[in-house]
Amino acid sequence: MKEIFQLLKEGNKSALTAAIVNVLVSIIKGITYVFTGNVAMFAETLHSLGDAANQFFVFVGSALSKKRPTKRFPNGFGRVVNLVLLGAVLIVGIMAFETIKEGISHIFHPTESTGFLINLLVLAVCTILEGFVLVKAMHEITHDVGLKSRGLKLFKDSIANFGKAKAATRLVFLEDSVATGGGLLAMIAIIISYYTPYHQAEGIASALIGVMMFFVVGKVFLDNAAGAIGESDEVMQVQIGQLVMSDPDVQDIQVITVLKEGDFFHVEVEVELDPHMTLAEVDDVKDRLEENILTVKGVVDVLVSFDEDDAIRSWEYGDGR
């Protein structure tokens, strides 16, 4: 039990913050829907409820993925976060389906909802809260890549480096982007429905929010299916390859593999050395390469093997010298 609490301290903070905020938001929206019967508010209630459950599971999964390797699982538990995310998107998918179904029903059978001002006020407050979580996720994305962005630059840098962020952070960013956009869309629909006889606007907004949720489901599923199977990281591969080639005794790289396990990397590299080097010298090179590679953020283990220099260049990304 003590180990579990220790692991939870290392869980993704953006996911935990998002889960707490979305629980609060879903309660507020749900109570408002019960009293006003606004279908756009119903869509937003399901959306926030799905996000809350989703992000809580993501937080727990990201924490458990930090568990140390065991004899039974020598490669560690990095892929746990990918497996949890694959399960979590099912929740969003179900909520998205219900949201679209209710929206279509309202389009064909529109009804006039009540509580115009309270609906707008609740949505405005909830959208601000979700926007706060979104900004926090943006900060975490830029932090993951070593940037300290502010203002409009934060928005630009977080979009540009989205693919380099942790899986849990990417999910929070996507979900709260849709949540913030969905809140604004619902507010517009409520205004149109109140000031015009076009009450179908709320149903259309509900359906569109559901479609946006399905987009998140598709994106998160594809990203984490690849992560659960085990995918290489080409950017990290180039970075580590250049680091290896900067060693004065390394002549070439035969093979380099960087396997991503959740937020961690496992590195295997086969390098070419001068065939006249002594065993002691080769051992020194091995120790030096392992030590240098392990300084790269996220790398948890390194396997270095050797071959004699064949005078044929295999490494394609420059020698980094």
pLDDT at 109: 83
C-alpha–C-alpha distance, residues 307 and 195, integer Å:
76
pLDDT at 317: 64
pTM of the model: 0.69
Q: Is 268 helix (H, G, I), strand (E, B) or coil?
A: strand
Torsion of CA 111, 117, 119, 124, to 10 degrees: 140
pLDDT at 319: 45
pLDDT at 2: 66
End-to-end CA distance of the chain: 49
Q: Is 313 helix (H, G, I), strand (E, B) or coil?
A: coil
pLDDT tens for each residue of 107-154: 888 877 778 888 889 889 988 988 888 888 898 888 877 788 888 888
Residues in the chain where the model's pLDDT stays below 50? 318-321
Side chain identity, residue 164: K
Q: What is the DSSP letter of 75?
A: T
Phi, psi of 231 (to 5 degrees): -125, 155
Count of beta carbons in the 10 Å neighbourhood of residue 192: 16
Domains of the chain: 1-229 (1.20.1510), 232-308 (3.30.70.1350)
Element (H, E) at 252: strand 252-261
Q: 194 has which bridge partners?
A: none
pLDDT at 229: 75
- Spacing of C-alpha 222 from chain mean position: 12
